[in-house]
Structure 1
Amino acid sequence: MLMKILILILISLIIQGCDQPANEIKELNLHKHIEILASDEFEGRGPGSAGGEKTKLYLKEEFKKMGLPSIKGDYYLEVPLSKMTVDLNSSFLSISKNGKARILEAGPETVYWTKRVVEGVSVRASELVFVGYGIVAPEYGWNDYKNLDVKGKTAVMLINDPGFWTEDPKLFNGKSMTYYGRWTYKFEEAARQGAEAVLIIHDTAPAAYPWQVVETSWAGKQIDLKREDMGRSRVKVEGWITSGVAEDIFGQANLDLKGLKQAALKADFQSVEMTGLTLDAALNNKVEFSISHNVAAVKNGYKKPNEYILLMAHWDHLGIKEDQSGDNIYNGAVDNASGTAGLLELANYFSKVESERSLLFLAVTAEESGLLGSQYFAEYPPIDLSNIVAGYNFDGVLPVGKTRDVIVVGYGASELEDILKAELDKVGKYIVPDPQPEKGFFYRSDHISFAKKGVPMLYADGGFDKIEGGKEAGRAFADEYTAKYYHQPSDEYDSNWDLSGFADQLTLTTKMVKYLADSDRWPEWYEGNEFKSIREESRK
């Protein structure tokens, strides 16, 4: 009789176990979140827009349904923003040669704006000067502004850094873009030098995207953090010009642009006055202020609750371009409804898992405007950043399907790569270093805001070595996305997407995170990494 009772109890337990769904990453959930977040109802998820408000509420309600508490008593973490929209009907930018003006057409020839929070900005007869790459890097013995007083002048410069063309690993990290190659740095440095305006010459290869991306990304409303000086420390006018326009105006100044590009690859390059050329501009702005929010939730650790593993993605995209005809909703399905969906699914998974350390799930705002949400969190953190053990960022995950590899953007950075390799070895996959380091992807997503504070971050992406089709098919898939869909209204969700590879990537992430969350390990930056000393100082 006792034996029968024990057997019945065992059968009952087995049945109960079968009734409980396994805790695993579910591809179906990824589809659900992406379809909702990238729908027209969410209007492209622009910060400060109705669609942005819907997005924040969706994230908050999802975290609440999972039973995950907020951090510091509120799921919404304020990010104060200023927004400036140039009225192109009453604004202009022109280049003059000996008093004869050529007004550049906004969109096809130039994109311009101001980060100064004012209703009007004007520049009059500002002399043009070519400053090479516009870089000051003492560690490389490099100063493109040497022997130059650029105050009141317009600095004209090249995109990326010299290493892109020389491929010399001792010069700006060779083909791999450094922060000096980013457009954000170039505007900041020109402002420090006292320039009145800046024009960056677009070139598709070193920029890593075609002109249409510049045109759609920087046209219309410009968002910035609401800074104490209201942007007065920025140059008056920031802008891009096409390579065709650049060739024309250099020709007008009797300058050989091709030859100057070669000269700019050497540290002894000296800036060149573009004799006879001046810039005039008048920008009339609509100025607005708003509060956007990062949205955060936490799974508290039971042993070391003040130590955190960070999982993050940006929730915003480009919103609606109201002055654009046709389809003007930039839905951002890949960029970055995909990463946001992955963050939510990781939160869902870990809501049912206990760990020694805490897990912080962070969806940041205003990435598309210059990583503003993550920058604000890192500058005004609600927790001590030195207590973040490590972080994982998800941004623009392509629905490429199952692959044999995982791409590590910014490869060779930290011991997080060792942890990743250990997990990949178990399933027969392999790491591929960033195949396009010249595009600077490591500096173009939100993890960099934390890396600059010393936090080891991993930005890994699904690979290109497709199980069905191999590397050629995977590369073609990625190239098609960049050419046709990146930062375009066509970046829309398709129910036929194969998200199985993304689900695999998230499953690997759960294993890495669980390992760190239940250990005493503090991953370190590799020796020689630019962020290693920052981390060591913060941990003292």
Structure 2
Amino acid sequence: MKKIYLIALMSMILIGCNATENYRVLSGNTIEESNLHQHIATLASDEYGGRAPGSPGGEKTKEYLVNAFQALMLETINGEYLLDVPLVEVSVDKGSYLSILQKGSEKMLKQGGETVFWTKRVQENVSVDNSQLVFVGYGIVAPEYGWDDYKGIDMKGKTAVMLINDPGFATQDDSLFKGNAMTYYGRWTYKYEEAARQGADAVIIIHETEPAAYPWQVVETSWQGKQIDLKREDLGLARVNVESWITNSIARGLFEQSGLDLEVLKKDALNAEFKPVIMEGLSLKARLNNTIRFANSHNVAAVKKGSLRPNEYILMMAHWDHLGIKEEQSGDNIYNGAVDNATGVAGILELAETLNDYDNERSLLYLAVTAEESGLLGSAYFAEYPPIDLSQIVAGYNFDAMHPRGKVEDVVVVGYGASELEDILERKLQKYNKYLVPDPEPEKGFFYRSDHISLSKKGVPMLYADAGIDQVEGGIEAGEQSSLYYVTNDYHQPSDEYDSDWDLSGIAEYLRITAEMVLDLANSEDWPEWYEGNEFKSIREASRASSN
């Protein structure tokens, strides 16, 4: 059994050190790269079939997690490691189509090559007829920014055509939204939700690689096949009929057919005075025949109870799911998700084993959530129907897609400038002669693309960080090239596979630093706060006040 030497080590530490310092430095071998390799290799193997919720591979993944937690003798929440997450799968059948009507002619767009379309409505048949296309700029209604892209129009009977991201990114102007950093208004999730609130029939998002933060192939693989959503009381009827993307080249052609210039309209859309533009002569027709299956997936949770304050928690989380198997695809059709996110799951499992050897006054909560790839569904359900009091979660750490690029000099914080957890991290990094770096690509909206945001919205201070890009061997340039290669070639592709030659030393170092931060908090009475002006600070204050 590993870490037996820690008994002797802890005995030495206890002599001549105060209680606080006992928990601030872990032995250099407490996070073991060999264990990380084993977990990643297993979870990202073909045997696990891409870990889609509701699939045989998904069931194997949950079993693997439960067995791991049981082996560590961790406790359950409410008597079960598995926490129910009710889901529904909607698959668009062959024969479904999306067409553009113009002056009596009909152009059917190719699913995958020219468009990707689906529905979140739990209905076997969904149709849209002669729905007028309307360009609505970025499709944003943001009163705090004095912005309304839907001003002066009734969207009933119409299809909203819009740009991805937000005006701040397009202008790099800090006075518009958050400048280069994407806001939630720039996310596709928000755009579909807002169009539904406006009463639109359907939504078409125009793809562009730079503002979307990923190439068309990611759209193509992520939104074809089964679409998973939470099972909602209204069965999704509050959503628009059809949600879709189209390629940039198809979009340009449509605007030309309507006598419009997309580039000119993109510039117009950067002004708060922008008003929706009718795309004269163009309308949408769609027929979706769907196969519907209700399923029950699970978040997997385990607890190491605190000795003094067991009802206060330090959370460590990662999503266990990926995209599964694309049955309709020839060749390699298993989306193994090694980086995304077998690495994160391996991380929380190794943290659990490491931290088992130390005392903790507060409880340690390990949470592996389902259906992240379908829109952060598992974490959203946990946040909406929590099995514990969320106001008693002191802080949380999220692990998602940790890159195996070897040792690095830095740690990157996604959503930098949020909470005092960053101060704790920065102090810890100084001991390791490392430095903290704000997210170098805030325009990609990573802060809104992972599960920590579900807890943040409920006020829980969350840290989403990772070993950085300043590689010990090769420097920043090598790290940037590694990141670009992954996003361009492997992200949400079958090629995201485990490689036994991976150098996991950088990931192991960051996990070791995280373990020390967790123990610092677990053996203190500190409550890290959101910074002044943060959008979640008032939510946290209200939840803490109501629990006291």
Q: TM-score range by the shorter chain?
A: over 0.9
Q: Aligned equivalents of 1:258 and 1:16: distance in 2?
A: 65
Does 1:291 find its partner at 2:311? no
CA shift at 1:172, angstroms? Answer: 1.0
Moved over 2 A (4+): 13-18
Alpha-carbon distance change, 106 to 301 in structure 1, aligned in 2, over 3 angstroms:
same
Does 1:411 find its partner at 2:421? no
Equivalent residue for 2:246? 241
CA shift at 1:167, angstroms? Answer: 1.4
CA shift at 1:352, angstroms? Answer: 2.0
Give CA deviations for 1:26-72 in whole Å, capped at 9, x if unaligned: 11000000000000000000000000000000000000001111111
Q: Aligned equivalents of 1:525 and 1:274: distance in 2?
A: 44
Q: Aligned equivalents of 2:98 and 2:273: distance in 1?
A: 32
1:457-476 map, 5 Å: 457-476=462-481
Q: Secondary structure at the match of 1:69?
A: coil
Structure 1, unmatched stretches of 5+, are: 1-12
CA shift at 1:16, angstroms? Answer: 13
Does 1:508 find its partner at 2:513? yes
Q: Is the 8 A contact 1:23 1:349 kept in 2?
A: no
Q: Is the 8 A contact 1:85 1:221 kept in 2?
A: yes
Q: Which is further off, 204-213 or 169-178?
A: 169-178
1:36 partner amino acid: T
Q: Aligned equivalents of 1:324 and 1:120: distance in 2?
A: 24
1:363 partner amino acid: A
Q: Secondary structure at the match of 1:458?
A: strand
Q: Aligned equivalents of 2:45 and 2:170: distance in 1?
A: 41
Residue 181 (structure 1) aligned to one of 170, 183, 186: 186
Structure 2, unmatched stretches of 5+, are: 1-6, 13-26
Q: Aligned equivalents of 2:116 and 2:520: distance in 1?
A: 47
Q: Aligned equivalents of 1:242 and 1:535: distance in 2?
A: 41
CA shift at 1:354, angstroms? Answer: 1.5
Q: Aligned equivalents of 1:516 and 1:285: distance in 2?
A: 49
CA shift at 1:290, angstroms? Answer: 0.3
Q: Aligned equivalents of 1:233 and 1:385: distance in 2?
A: 28
Q: What is the number of residues matched between the two proteins?
A: 525
Q: Secondary structure at the match of 1:509?
A: helix
1:350-429 map, 5 Å: 350-429=355-434
Equivalent residue for 1:338? 343
CA shift at 1:423, angstroms? Answer: 0.3
Alpha-carbon distance change, 96 to 306 in structure 1, aligned in 2, over 3 angstroms:
same
Give CA deviations for 1:326-365 in whole Å, capped at 9, x if unaligned: 0000000000000000010011111222211001000000
Q: Aligned equivalents of 1:299 and 1:144: distance in 2?
A: 49
1:515 partner amino acid: D
Question: Percent of pairs identical after alignment?
Answer: 67
Does 1:533 find its partner at 2:522? no
Give CA deviations for 1:200-258 in whole Å, capped at 9, x if unaligned: 00000000000000000000100000000000000000000000000000000000100
Q: Aligned equivalents of 2:225 and 2:455: distance in 1?
A: 29
Q: Aligned equivalents of 1:14 and 1:167: distance in 2?
A: 55
1:309 partner amino acid: I
Does 1:56 find its partner at 2:62? yes
Give CA deviations for 1:515-536 in whole Å, capped at 9, x if unaligned: 0111111101111111111111
Does 1:325 find its partner at 2:334? no
Equivalent residue for 1:38? 44
CA shift at 1:170, angstroms? Answer: 2.3
Residue 87 (structure 2) aligned to one of 81, 87, 90: 81
Q: Aligned equivalents of 2:410 and 2:337: distance in 1?
A: 25
2:103 partner amino acid: N
Equivalent residue for 2:267? 262
Give CA deviations for 1:269-289 in whole Å, capped at 9, x if unaligned: 010000010100000000000
Equivalent residue for 2:21? none
Equivalent residue for 2:196? 191
Q: Is the 8 A contact 1:164 1:177 kept in 2?
A: yes
Q: Is the 8 A contact 1:406 1:429 kept in 2?
A: yes
Q: Is the 8 A contact 1:44 1:319 kept in 2?
A: yes
Give CA deviations for 1:453-472 in whole Å, capped at 9, x if unaligned: 00000000111111111111
Equivalent residue for 1:113? 118
Relative to the length of structure 1, the TM-score reads: 0.96
1:47 partner amino acid: P
Give CA deviations for 1:420-460 in whole Å, capped at 9, x if unaligned: 00000011100111000000000000000000000000000
Residue 432 (structure 1) aligned to one of 416, 428, 437: 437
CA shift at 1:23, angstroms? Answer: 6.8
Q: Secondary structure at the match of 2:50?
A: helix
1:43-192 map, 5 Å: 43-87=49-93, 89-192=94-197
Q: Aligned equivalents of 1:280 and 1:353: distance in 2?
A: 61
1:259 partner amino acid: V
Equivalent residue for 2:24? none
Q: Aligned equivalents of 1:16 and 1:316: distance in 2?
A: 37
